[in-house]
Amino acid sequence: MFKPLSMSIVLTGVAGSVAAVCPGDYNGAPPLPAVTHVEFYNPAAPSKPLPAVANNETDRMQVTGGVVGKGSVTLVVTLSADIAMDCELNFQLFDAGTSINGQRQEETDMVFPMGHPSVGARWYLRATATGTNKVKVTLPVAIRLGNSAIHRHRIGLSSLHVGHTPETPQTFEFRNNPIRIKEIRRISPAGAAVSDGQRVELAVYLEEPLDTMTYAYKLKRPGSRATEYTDNALRIQYTISPSDAAYVPPRGTPDYLYFRPEFADGSSRTGLMIDLPDAPATKDLKKKAETPTPVPGRLILAKPAQSTTITFTAQLSTHHTGPGGPTLTLQIPVN
């Protein structure tokens, strides 16, 4: 007996033998089975999946989009019939309350990023059958900033062929929790006041480790055309005050940096160049010592030159959402 293969014919030396035909392969193939049930795979207890739609927060699937180990959901999909081993199944995602025929799935497009989208292509989630009526489908979830939100969507089997409408999809929902910034720290010099022309190394930390796969994921812009995508990578939106006292090299860069956890401690780092204005001195920087007017018979002490501080402010953002969540500041004393 031959191992069934999707859309293939296996020939023997005596006679031809047709492999099992996969549903939805072509016109005339068996119809697609229905999706009868959806659950969430629970890695903490694989034998106890979480419900697709929870009655309470304890049973609700929790994710943190973009975080290592928490940034995706795996659906356990039950079909109305067993599917032959190695058959490829194509799923589609839909908004919870939008028509499945010919309508842009705005909410779904902004929650589930795809890798390197093709211009004008419809997106399908491909899974390989295991010979049973159970299939697992893993979906990366977009980064969220600010507050958590419950996302509600539907999944259904579909076909790659024009005119084949999806089977009635089943609903699932989960809570997507935000990525949060934890700390800004000076690496070098660690604490002393710095001087004009000196470089300060800064490290930005998250509460949980970032999954670097977010760099490869794309999202549709809200209200955009079908071919317009933005990246899902995490950024650090920053300000420097006073604005003319320092800069992130090289000069002329935007007011954000991509969060790239390239160090063992999970931090993303950047250099800050101290570049105090020469003249005229601002009210806050390089205040010169005042020269007292000599008065006969009276001793007047000169006031020492005053130092100031530079404030580096950071907030997380993405190209897709803009800045969101907590804002942290770091004070850097300057001689």
Q: Which of 147, 213, 203 is nearest to 180 (CA)?
A: 147
Above 60 in pLDDT, residue 77?
yes
Above 50 in pLDDT, residue 289?
no
**High-pLDDT (> 90) share of the chain, %:** 51
Please, what's the b/e burial string for 132-170 (b: 16 or more CB within 10 A of its CB; e: otherwise)? ebebebebbbbbbbeeeeebbbbbbbbbeeeeeebbebb
Above 50 in pLDDT, residue 14?
no
Rounded to the nearest integer, the mean pLDDT of the chain is 81
Instruction: Output 96 or 171, whichever has higher pLDDT.
Output: 171
What digits encode the pLDDT tens for the residues 26-47?
Answer: 667 778 888 999 999 998 899 9
Nearest-angstrom CA–CA distance, 283 and 195: 17
What digits encode the pLDDT tens for the residues 173-223?
Answer: 999 999 999 999 999 998 889 999 999 999 999 999 999 999 888 887 766
Give me 124's structure tokens. 């399908």
Please enumerate in sequence order all residues whose Cβ is within 8 A of that of 118, keeping only pairs 6 or more positions apart, or say none.
none
Residue 226 pLDDT level (bands cut at 50, 70, 90) = low
Residue 21 pLDDT level (bands cut at 50, 70, 90) = confident
Per-residue model confidence (pLDDT) at position 30? 79
Q: Is the pTM here over 0.75, yes or no? A: yes
What digits encode the pLDDT tens for the residues 96-137?
Answer: 877 766 566 778 888 998 765 553 444 567 888 999 999 999
**High-pLDDT (> 70) share of the chain, %:** 75
Please say whether the dihedral angle defined by the alpha carbons of residues 125, 130, 131 and 132, taken in this order, is positive or negative: negative
Assess contact for 193 and 335: CB atoms under 8 A: yes
Angle ∠(250,316,176) on CA atoms, nearest 5? 150
Above 70 in pLDDT, residue 231?
yes
Per-residue model confidence (pLDDT) at position 23? 83
Per-residue model confidence (pLDDT) at position 171? 94
